[in-house]
Structure 1
């Protein structure tokens, strides 16, 4: 079954999307916004295991692929790894949209996710999405150093050749996000680029103004 874009947008009218590129600050900013405005955060990465359990290998093969160990996982070529990541995101999106429709009927939901400009155009209005971005080079160190990604850090550190595994990850993430980064910056969407001088408070205030969260929410 295929739903038209206008139908999806109507049913997601209470969802605000915080998306962008890796290490742009999506998780930090969405949680700080939720704390300040008493909102629900829906993090698609946290939902993956639940979605995987109800998925079907015939329809979601990437989500159900099993790897023997870290060496097999990181031993793929950059192109193979990239395609698998893209397929995972595409397959999970159906589950995500249904969750968001259910959760947002009577409340505002902040969705911490990975949308491209093209996907944003289909799912929401510019006033309900912000892109938080970071130049996509050497992303893996920042990713592994995050407390919420300790499992991934342990996994990559279990490889026989950790430096090679990290190089593969960096090349894969750069390959996926280089064009996205430029597409976002060249779009009419609201975006904030993370730099060494960025602060959480400053970024939150900019996103608040864009979403008009400084104003009291109208009852739904």
Structure 2
């Protein structure tokens, strides 16, 4: 069954999407906005609850890669090109699960999501004021990738350290991260036509300013004013 984009767009009218490159502050903003404006939040990789029960390798080979791979050493030792291709194809497969989950939870309440849905698909299923792009320079995305309190990234780093040549494997893995956050991908986001914020200094705390800008873009500031009166 194929559902027309106009139907999906109508069903997603209560959803706000944040997407972009690594280490741009997406997950932080989703959490903070959800808390302040009483939104339902769906954070990075939230689709796992559904994909783990439904996805089959023959239909979703990239989503099911963790089930079919030999071991974690295979995962961390893939070429940067293979890693980039896997990320791109996974995002396309995951989009179906994301849309289904977001339609399910957003019927009667607004939702904010840290999404992997590609911008070319978002253009068809969401309006301008529903999408925000958050970007960071490639160097920041790579250098800070493992410098965060993230259980998944800590696990991957542990697997890299278990390899026979951790330094070589780490360099190879970070090259894959660099490819995913390269200029081509960066410019695709920047030139998407969506509202965009760029993080260019990790030494300055701009959380309040960024949250305020996002709230204004998503129309949440109006709700804040309404609550005060």
Sort the Cα spacing of 1:46 and 1:174 in 2 relative to 1 into closer, same or farther, 3 A: same
Matched, 1:194 2:199: yes
Contact 1:131–1:192 (Cα < 8 Å) also in 2 = yes
Sort the Cα spacing of 1:25 and 1:175 in 2 relative to 1 into closer, same or farther, 3 A: same
- Matching of residues 10-159 of structure 1 within 5 Å: 10-48=10-48, 50-65=50-65, 66-137=68-139, 139-148=141-150, 149-159=153-163
CA shift, 1:46, in A, is 3.2
Contact 1:145–1:153 (Cα < 8 Å) also in 2 = no
Contact 1:15–1:111 (Cα < 8 Å) also in 2 = yes
Contact 1:41–1:111 (Cα < 8 Å) also in 2 = yes
Bigger Cα displacement from structure 2, 36-45 vs 201-210:
36-45
Contact 1:70–1:158 (Cα < 8 Å) also in 2 = no
Give me the TM-score of the superposition, normalised by structure 2.
0.86
CA shift, 1:146, in A, is 1.4
CA shift, 1:141, in A, is 4.0
Q: Separation in 2 of the partners of 1:215 and 1:156? A: 47
RMSD: 2.0
CA shift, 1:117, in A, is 2.7
Contact 1:20–1:115 (Cα < 8 Å) also in 2 = no
Aligned residue number for residue 203 of structure 1? 210
| Aligned residues between the structures | 218
Contact 2:23–2:136 (Cα < 8 Å) also in 1 = yes
Aligned residue number for residue 183 of structure 1? 188
5+ residue gaps, structure 1: none
Sort the Cα spacing of 1:139 and 1:123 in 2 relative to 1 into closer, same or farther, 3 A: same
Bigger Cα displacement from structure 2, 45-54 vs 30-39:
45-54
Q: Separation in 1 of the partners of 2:162 and 2:147? A: 15
Q: Separation in 2 of the partners of 1:31 and 1:56? A: 31
CA shift, 1:20, in A, is 0.8
Sort the Cα spacing of 1:119 and 1:159 in 2 relative to 1 into closer, same or farther, 3 A: farther
CA shift, 1:163, in A, is 2.4
